[in-house]
Structure 1
Amino acid sequence: MKLLKFNTLLISLLASAAAFTAQAQLKLPKSHTNQHNSLIANQRPSVNPFKIENNDLLLNQIKAREAAIDNEIFNSFWNSESVNPYGTAVTIPDHHDIDVSEFVSPCPGHITSNYGYRSRFGRMHYGTDLKLQVGDTVRAAFSGKIRLTKYEGRGYGYYVVMRHENGLETVYGHLSRFLVKPNQYVKAGDPIALGGNTGRSTGPHLHFECRYLGIPINPAAIIDFENQVPHKDIFAFDKRTYGKSQKYAPAKKRKAKTTASRKRRTKRARK
């Protein structure tokens, strides 16, 4: 019996010793603990990474930047009642890259009439005509602000002029109803009007123009209307090419010189 108690006591002492040894092995030296705490303290950032320092200053800088852009694009020549508000009052750059990647088709219809000179009417057609039905939704091609909503009986009929953040202006003609007002900001693809057959029109369609600083640009040079996407994300405006379109007119045919007139000139020369 005494032997059994002795063995039990011995096992208990051995277990306690093993536990003490294990704890001693797991316990780190005091110097290591101090070094570890110092390392963690030095890794703490001096500022809160989740807090934007000088938040008011940053926001004011952003607002000032946006205001400057807004003033440059949406205030310059803004109050003009003309489709081309710039006239000759601005200097047209020789080259300018225009971001057109945001484009949304103003209506899904196919082209019924292209940009260019119309010999039938003896005048220039500054836009691309797209097929639609009266009452169809017309959408903004790019984001921007509405500059004009007007009526012109002998031309555009009811029409909208938008100025966009990329510097372009677009014109939407022969409408039946406005869905927007001047100075209203509109995103690309938002409804701006309903299609119609007003003004100088021979049937329901949308007359769509693209202009840069007043200069009309062939919309088909920017947009693939068949697939309703821009040809490229960046349209390279070139003054040498598109500046001519303002004063475009067909070349006058020279009158053919008759044989009789040549003979008369020859006789006068001999005299």
Structure 2
Amino acid sequence: MTSKKTQLLCASLCLVALSLTSWRTPSEKAQTPRKETRTTAGQQSSQIQSGEHLLLADRLEIKSRLLKEKQRRTADLKASKEKEDLEAPAAEIYGEDSWGSHVNPFAGMAVDIPDRQDIDLQEFVMPIGTRQVTSNYGYRHSFGRMHYGVDLKLSTGDTIRAAFSGKVRIRSYEGRGYGNYIVIRHPNGLETVYGHMSRAIAREGTVVKAGDPIGLGGSTGRSTGPHLHFEARFMGIPLDPTDLFDFVAGVPRFDVFAFVKGAYQTPRSFAVARAVAKPKKSGEANEEQFKTHRIKKGETMSTIARHYGVSVSKLCRTNGISSKQKLSIGRTLRIPS
């Protein structure tokens, strides 16, 4: 057999073998296992865990978004409520017909005074920088009349600030009395009066925030020298400001002051309200005078207690709080003797 014939025979045999290999019956094809990509148990576990992490991450993200949205809505509602309260301060107490031009908004009117009213004092800001009281609240024998506020020392031109946020009810002048004066009504139920100013800055009907400038110190009206005449009233009834505020320390005496109807005395026919000061969440009158401390940034119950030489437990009991409670900057604490 020649070499050429041998080559042709080999090629033919190869083609026959290839054809036999590729041709199979359907049953043979079914019996032949298909090639599959298999993963190990570790790879499958990793894929499952990865999926679970993705689901958890999605849930946390959704939860975070919902929380942020809830916080945003809460903040919006709070801001809306605060704006409403400032536009119509203490409307639920005073009613709609009490926006008059007299310091006592109910002058000449019959009014139903609440039996008790809790007044939040925590926002209080000193109306002036100096902290010296030159004349107290009470009857003045030398003048034969009541002094319905306290006089605070100042120099002409000193800035006078709003003690609380509120709305200016009166901006006026009284030659034989307050001189240039302003009356502000506050959402907590109080009205504050600022008299003898050289100039009133805040306009009638405007909303002011605690600490905003409202006027300049002076000696206008019935005054013997530069000072601020400062009053605190509830529904027209004058309260002794020193029962509410410690002017030397520049802080409120209590977080909450309880006005109690019917606690009056009448020296020489002048009716004077004597409200009862009560600590927050207390049902009994507290006549003891406490030192007060306004919390500053970085302070703890331990540092405050150490500063005043009292125990942390006694300081906590006096204020009705826990030693582990987070302190709010600006809150007033009562310091036990």
Relative to the length of structure 2, the TM-score reads 0.58
- Aligned equivalent of 2:220: 198
- Matched residue of 2:85: which SS? helix
- The C-alpha deviation readout for 1:22-59, integer Å capped at 9, x for no partner, is xxxxx753431343244235423283623555899768
C-alpha separation in 1, matches of 2:150 and 2:192: 11
Whole-Å separation in 2 of the counterparts to 1:230 and 1:162: 18
Matches within 5 A, 1:31-42: 31-42=44-55
Distance in structure 2 (CA, Å) of the matches to 1:235 and 1:157: 29
SS of residue in 2 equivalent to 1:47 = helix
1:104 matches 2:128 = no
Count of residue pairs brought into register by the alignment? 222
Give, in whole Å, the separation in 2 of the partners of 1:101 and 1:74.
16
| Greater RCO (CA < 8 Å, at least 6 residues apart) | 1
1:119 and 2:141 matched: yes
Give the counterpart of 2:100 among 71, 80, 85: 80
Counterpart secondary structure, 1:135? coil
* Structure 2 residue 116 is matched with structure 1 residue 95: yes
Answering whether residue 68 of structure 2 is matched by residue 50 of structure 1, we say no
Deviation at 1:154, TM superposition (A): 1.1
Matches within 5 A, 1:146-165: 146-165=168-187
1:89: how far off?
A: 5.0
What are structure 2's unaligned runs of at least 5 residues?
Answer: 1-39, 270-337
Partners of 1:215 and 1:228 in 2: CA distance? 23
Mark the CA change 1:97 to 1:179 in structure 2 (over 3 Å): closer, same or farther: same
Matched, 1:250 2:268: yes
Contact 2:90 2:189 in 1 (8 A): no
Structure 2 residue 194 is matched with structure 1 residue 172: yes
- 1:66/1:233 CA distance change after superposition, 3 Å: closer
- Structure 1 residues 177 and 93, CA, compared in 2 at 3 Å: closer, same or farther? same
Q: CA deviation at 1:78?
A: 5.6
Summarize deviations over 1:145-182 as a string: whole Å, max 9, x none. Answer: 22211001111111011112322110000111112111
Does the alignment pair 1:139 with 2:139?
Answer: no
CA distance in 2, matches of 1:113, 1:59: 43
Q: In structure 1, how many angstroms separate the alpha carbons of the residues matched to 2:155 and 2:79?
A: 42
Alpha-carbon distance in structure 2 between the residues aligned to 1:58 and 1:111: 42
- Distance, in Å, in 1 between the alignment partners of 2:120 and 2:134 is 26
Q: Distance in 1 between matches of 2:256 and 2:221?
A: 33
C-alpha distance 90-187 of structure 1, shift in aligned 2 (>3 A): same
Segments of 5+ residues of structure 1 without an aligned counterpart are 1-26, 252-271
Q: TM-score, normalised by structure 1?
A: 0.70
2:85 maps to which of 69, 85, 103: 69
CA distance in 2, matches of 1:213, 1:185: 19
Q: CA deviation at 1:139?
A: 1.5
Q: Secondary structure at the match of 2:49?
A: helix
Question: 1:231, 1:59 → 2: CA distance?
Answer: 29
Which residue is 1:7 aligned to? none
Coordinate RMSD, CA, aligned: 3.0
> Percent same amino acid at aligned positions?
47
The 2-side partners of 1:206 and 1:102 are apart by: 20
